[in-house]
Amino acid sequence: MARTHAEWKALSGQITIEGRAFVDGQYVTAADGRTFDCINPATGDKLATISWAGTAEVEQAVAAARRVFESGKWSGLAPLARGRILKRFAALIRQHGDELALLETLDAGKPIGDTTTVDVPGAAYCVEWFAEAIDKIGGEVAPVDPKLVGLVSREAIGVVAAVVPWNFPILMASWKFGPALAAGNAVILKPSEKSPLTAIKLAALAKEAGMPDGVFQVLPGAGDVGQALAQHMDIDCIAFTGSTGVGKLIASYAAQSNLKRAWLELGGKSPNIVLADCPDIARAARTAAGAIFYNMGEMCTAGSRLLLHKDIKDAFLVEFKKAAAAYQPADPLDPATSMGAIVDRIQYDKVLGYIAKARE
């Protein structure tokens, strides 16, 4: 049964929040003692003190990942065995769904109605999908000269670092660690300093599911942690979702170090285009409103421009304003809320700056 606004508020006051890094199977504080505050963007209240991973934690995590990968404890498991563990991991994500959804809402300001129905279930589904695919996606024999044998095999690359953004913390993370773990890699996850809580919780669930120590590790912190991972000579691949500017840096760090493989998903907003023959203007307007206002507009696919044919412009804008009015900022813990809080003051001021620029 779905929880009420009052029930979510009560639960938010009872939840235990873990703020330490997860390295080689256990939670640890930063050796240099650095921390940062995790703030609830809806209230401004401090949620937790988070360990800011430093050079020592990066080195320990990479060494643990390399050790477990080379040991074959994960990469050498039979596909079905690895799949069973990942299915248990997905089941645990569902079992702790309310806790994870609440952490995501408190941490990132996302409406609880979204985190309970989109973000957390989507993450569990992603892990489960790749768990199911492990023993169903194989290699091939290439058609070559009869005197030759050409084989294509799919093998784990080794140690994978994943640097993920703050707008869909658990979901974006799952898109990276799900397939990487399924392939047999060891993963080091670096969540955004704006939204680290679900990643930290997931580490314990991965261990509970049966993953060997060192297979799934979490290093909270700011850009210096991501830079250290991108430059590390013993990391084989880095996956990043975020801004184009930081993506360029990640690519350069990868090139300057061991030429590690780099997967970059960078920002790229696009216009919504509505032509004169649009058969359902009201529906198109609702879709356009959702494209820019869903998730507080914090979307790399946000429809931040709207190009309308002049013949339908006036009628479309009437419907668009109606649809936009449904997105009213309110308490993210209220299941009826469609728009929560902007993730932090920096982003909030940036949004206001864009609005002011548009008015000018």
278 is catalytic: no
300 is catalytic: yes
Nearest to 294 by CA among 271, 323, 266: 323
DSSP-assigned letter for residue 21: E
Distance CA 92, CA 124 (A): 8
Residue type for position 324: A
282: three-class secondary structure by DSSP: helix
| Residues 176, 126, 108: CA angle, nearest 5 degrees | 70
Residue 180's CB is within 10 A of a number of other CB atoms, namely: 24
In which residue are the tokens 């009872």 written?
A: 14
And the tokens for 152?
Answer: 């294509």
The residue annotated as part of the active site, out of 7, 59, 99, 300, is 300
Nearest to 77 by CA among 210, 258, 206: 210
User: With contact defined as beta carbons under 8 Å apart, do 1 and 23 qualify?
Assistant: no
User: With contact defined as beta carbons under 8 Å apart, do 213 and 134 qualify?
Assistant: no
The residue annotated as part of the active site, out of 104, 265, 298, 319, is 265
State the catalytic residues.
Answer: 265, 300
